Amino acid sequence: MNKIVRQFGFYVALIGLWQIVAMLKIWKPYLFPTPWNVVEALRAGFADHTFWTGMAVSMKRMLIGYLLSCVMGIVLGIVLAQSRFLAETLGRLVVSIQSLPSVCWLPVAILWFGLTEKAIIFVVVIGSLLAVAIAVETGLRNVPRIYLMAGRNLGATRVDLLLHVFLPASLPHLMAGLKQGWAFAWRSLITGEMIFVSLGLGQLLTTGRDLNDINQVVAVMLLIVAIGALADGLLFRSVERIIEKKWGLATTNA
């Protein structure tokens, strides 16, 4: 309960500070909106279904791209963890490519796929896949050797060891990678949608900029943050709590 009160008080204070700064008129109203004007932009956007449409289109692309990146990233991470040669060659390349910002892949995506849905989904996949793969490889390599020895003594095959020993034991690392992959994929998606007309939240950001409508820009930014927070709170943190409890890693908060 205390945690909820602290969080509520923090956001109330933050909104109050926002209102005070807006009232000081350090910036022109068309450059720095008031909280009320942003709320009105949100109301108008939901009333005419603009925001509902943008959210639906963006989430569809996100789910497709993220699921693809998870499947391919897990497979790639397993392959890298099983082969020292690939880890020292392909693995080094994966780590190097991971440092590239997602926006660097947009020209490649447009040249390969044109201004299509495939281009945006490609950027989402590339933005997330490598983070997932690195997390999976790290998790598998950090599994205690005693687990492997115990599994072999019980007659487990290579596949059994992977499915029933390595993957379950590396779940904390895997969840961290999936969570990071989601964040990278979400940023990549918004960046891709801002490049051309695509009906998503990124396009709504670009439209607000083109119309000099700071209220819409901030409203869409808040939607993007809210969706990311919901995904983190409802999905990833719930799964993390289950894993922490199962692995005995949970701590008691005062």
Where along the chain do its domains lie? 51-247
pLDDT of residue 253: 47
The answer, yes or no, to whether residue 146 has pLDDT greater than 80, is no
What does pTM read for this prediction? 0.79
Q: What's the CA gap between 226 and 71, in Å, rounded?
A: 26
Question: Residue by residue, what is the 3-state secondary structure of the chain?
Answer: CHHHHHHHHHHHHHHHHHHHHHHHCCCCCCCCCCHHHHHHHHHHHHHCCHHHHHHHHHHHHHHHHHHHHHHHHHHHHHHHHHCHHHHHCHHHHHHHHHCCCHHHHHHHHHHHHCCCHHHHHHHHHHHHHHHHHHHHHHHHHCCCHHHHHHHHHCCCCHHHHHHHHHHHHCHHHHHHHHHHHHHHHHHHHHHHHCCCCCCCHHHHHHHHHHCCCHHHHHHHHHHHHHHHHHHHHHHHHHHHHHHHHHHCCCCCCC
Q: What's the topology of domain 51-247?
A: MetI-like fold (1.10.3720)
Look at residue 162 and tell me whether its pLDDT is greater than 80: no
| pLDDT > 90 in the chain, percent | 11
Retrieve residue 11's tokens: 């956001």
Opening angle at CA 219, ends 216 and 224, nearest 5: 125
184: Cα within 13 Å, side-chain hemisphere: 26
pLDDT tens digits, one per residue of 40-59 = 999 998 998 889 988 999 99
Q: What is the pLDDT of residue 254?
A: 40
Lowest mean pLDDT among 57-71, 78-92, 107-121, 158-172: 158-172
Which carries the bigger pLDDT value, residue 56 or residue 144? Answer: 56
24-42 pLDDT, tens per residue? Answer: 877 777 788 888 988 999 9
- Please answer whether residues 58 and 189 qualify as being in contact, where contact means their C-beta atoms are separated by less than 8 angstroms: yes
Most confidently modeled range among 84-88, 186-190, 242-246: 186-190
pLDDT for position 46: 92
pLDDT confidence band for 222 (50 / 70 / 90): very high
